[in-house]
């Protein structure tokens, strides 16, 4: 049974998904045979079978020893070197986890206020650090890591700091690799042929996720299940490819904005991760849909008005969760002063699902907004792994359908060039 399903009944598709089958067959072959655009970066495709099992076991061991040592685990990275881990930790553990290790994220901003506040916050805690950078030169990460390294060496001394810092970077080259070798840090490898936004299923994501107490064996078993379920290009069986095709059909219908909608607060960072995956992969050559996101019902009280009655530029992709992680029954109140007794005895998840259904009807029927629905079984580690791989395959296919290389990000360099000039680098 597949763990993530697509429903297109509410999407107002004006083309038949099956009419893309021939094209999809060709592009699928290109992806699998490494003959498509950006074929140097398709290591993630076979990763569910090919990942380094020894390194995987070492990650679990080091993660266990870090969990013994620290109250706070600082993940220092940005973009693909941070979003996946944070998305997993929040989705699986929730936003107010009682896990003994608190995850803190740094290296993802130049905000002086944020950086200083984090350093102050961790000052009197037991700290371990994972610095993650494939290039090893990303400025946000390098800046924060210099501060963190000094902080750790002052707090623990050079020797103990070395035992508490792990670097995840290129196997052979880069500034971070040089620092890690010189200082003798434990290191994990970012594979050459896997780009940042596809790297959550490598040590980039897996190591911090393991430190957060999440079962990475289960996560990788979800990845493998998705690999198996999505092995055929048949659009009647492969929902990732069908979703990729739907995005193109909706774009052909003039919808250039895709809003990923979740109904779980702890899925917010998953949406951020998804935005990077789609935005950085597809937004090239003046093509692509703008990926945006909302958390309902919270954002129905802000963006809901636009979705219902604003300019008809968008479609929604609902990312729904079948089984909530937690639930409770709404209590009865004899006085009923708040008039809420109509919900007595109902589960809170049922209320959330009714809000979703009512909103879908409103946006679809009155608002005329197409809705794609993706339903994920639950918010477990296994489902997280499944979902990531599902979106990887969908992302590659949807970009190939646009004749775009999904795996580079040339546009990101422009701001860096200007910034370096201004910084006097």
Q: Measured from the CB of residue 195, what is the shortest distance to ligand PA5 in angstroms?
A: 5
Decide whether 81 or 295 has the Cβ nearer to ligand PA5: 81
Nearest of 144, 151, 147, 190 to residue 167 by alpha carbon: 190
Site of interaction with ligand PA5 (CB under 6 A): 78-81, 133-135, 138, 141, 195-197, 280, 409
Q: How far is the CB of 126 from ligand PA5 (least distance, A)?
A: 26
d(CA 115, CA 110): 7
Smallest gap from Cβ 103 to ligand PA5, in A, equals 18
Helix ranges, 310-380 (H): 348-361
Which residue minimizes CB distance to ligand PA5? Answer: 196
Closest CA to 398 of 81, 64, 2, 6: 6
Shortest approach of ligand PA5 to residue 192 CB, angstroms?
A: 12
The residues near 24 (Cβ < 8 Å, ≥ 6 apart) are: 233, 235, 241, 244, 245, 397, 401
The beta strands (E) that lie in 308-357 are given as 314-321
Determine contact, residues 10/361, Cβ cutoff 8 Å. no
> Cβ closer to ligand PA5: 138 or 405?
138
The residues carrying an active-site annotation are 280, 301, 416
Assigned token pair, 194: 């896997």
Q: How far is the CB of 320 from ligand PA5 (least distance, A)?
A: 26
DSSP string for residues in 113-169? HHHHHHHHHHTTS-EEEEEE-SSS--HHHHHHHHHHHHHHHHHHHHHHHHHHEEEEE
Q: Which is closer to ligand PA5, CB of 65 or CB of 135?
A: 135
Q: How far is the CB of 351 from ligand PA5 (least distance, A)?
A: 37
Give CA separation, 411 vs 143, 279, 415, 417, in Å. Answer: 22, 11, 8, 11
**Residue among 213 and 279 whose Cβ is closer to ligand PA5:** 279
Task: Provide, rounded to whole angstroms, the least separation between the CB of residue 381 and ligand PA5.
Answer: 22
- Rounded Cα distance, 14 and 22, in Å: 18
In the complex, minimum distance from the CB of residue 415 to ligand PA5, in angstroms, rounded to a whole number = 11
- For residues 133 and 383, which CB has a smaller minimum distance to ligand PA5 in the complex? 133
Q: Is 369 within 8 Å of 315 (Cβ atoms)?
A: yes
In this complex, which beta carbon is closest to ligand PA5, that of residue 48 or of residue 195? 195
Taking the mean position of all CA atoms in its chain, how far away is CA 38? 21
Return all residues near 275 (Cβ < 8 A) that are at least 6 apart: 260, 291, 292, 293
Closer to ligand PA5 at the Cβ: 62 or 131? Answer: 131
Q: Is the peptide bond before 364 cis (omega within 30 degrees of 0)?
A: no
Q: Which is nearer to ligand PA5, 178 or 252 (CB)?
A: 178
Residue the block writes with tokens 């792990």: 166
């Amino acid at each position: 049974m597949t763990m993530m399903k697509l429903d297109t009944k509410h999407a107002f598709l004006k083309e038949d998904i099956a009419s893309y089958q021939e094209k999809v067959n060709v592009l699928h072959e290109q992806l699998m045979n490494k003959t498509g655009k950006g074929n140097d970066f398709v290591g993630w495709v076979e990763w569910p079978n090919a990942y380094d099992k020894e390194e995987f076991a070492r990650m679990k061991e080091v993660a266990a020893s870090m969990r013994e040592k620290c109250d706070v685990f600082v993940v220092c990275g940005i973009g693909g070197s941070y979003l996946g881990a944070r998305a997993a930790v929040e989705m699986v553990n929730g936003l107010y986890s009682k896990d003994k290790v608190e995850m803190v994220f740094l290296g993802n901003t130049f905000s002086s206020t944020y950086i200083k506040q984090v350093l102050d916050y961790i000052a009197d805690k037991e700290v371990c650090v994972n610095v993650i950078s494939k290039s090893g030169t990303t400025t946000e990460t390098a800046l924060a890591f210099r501060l963190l390294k000094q902080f750790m060496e002052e707090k623990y001394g050079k020797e103990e700091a070395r035992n508490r810092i792990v670097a995840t970077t290129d196997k052979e080259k880069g500034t971070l690799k040089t620092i890690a070798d010189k200082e003798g840090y434990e290191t994990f490898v970012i594979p050459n042929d896997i780009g940042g936004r596809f790297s959550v299923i490598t040590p980039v994501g897996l190591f911090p996720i393991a430190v957060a107490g999440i079962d990475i064996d289960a996560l990788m078993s979800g990845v493998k299940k998705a690999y198996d379920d999505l092995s055929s290009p048949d659009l009647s069986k492969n929902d990732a490819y069908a979703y990729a095709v739907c995005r193109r059909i909706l774009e052909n219908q003039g919808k250039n904005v895709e809003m990923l909608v979740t109904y779980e607060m702890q899925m917010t960072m998953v949406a951020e991760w998804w935005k990077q995956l789609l935005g950085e992969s597809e937004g090239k050559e003046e093509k692509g849909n703008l990926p945006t996101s909302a958390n309902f019902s919270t954002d129905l009280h802000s963006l809901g008005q636009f979705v219902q009655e604003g300019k008809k530029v968008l479609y929604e992709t609902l990312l729904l969760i079948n089984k909530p992680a937690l639930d409770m029954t709404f209590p009865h109140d004899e006085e009923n002063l708040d008039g809420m007794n109509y919900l007595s005895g109902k589960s809170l998840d049922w209320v959330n699902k009714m809000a979703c259904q009512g909103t879908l009807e409103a946006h679809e029927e009155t608002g005329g907004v197409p809705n794609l629905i993706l339903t994920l079984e639950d918010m477990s580690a296994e489902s997280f792994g499944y979902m990531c791989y599902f979106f990887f395959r969908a992302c590659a296919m949807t970009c190939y359908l646009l004749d775009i290389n999904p795996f580079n990000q040339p546009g990101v360099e422009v701001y860096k060039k200007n910034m370096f000039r201004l910084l006097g680098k």
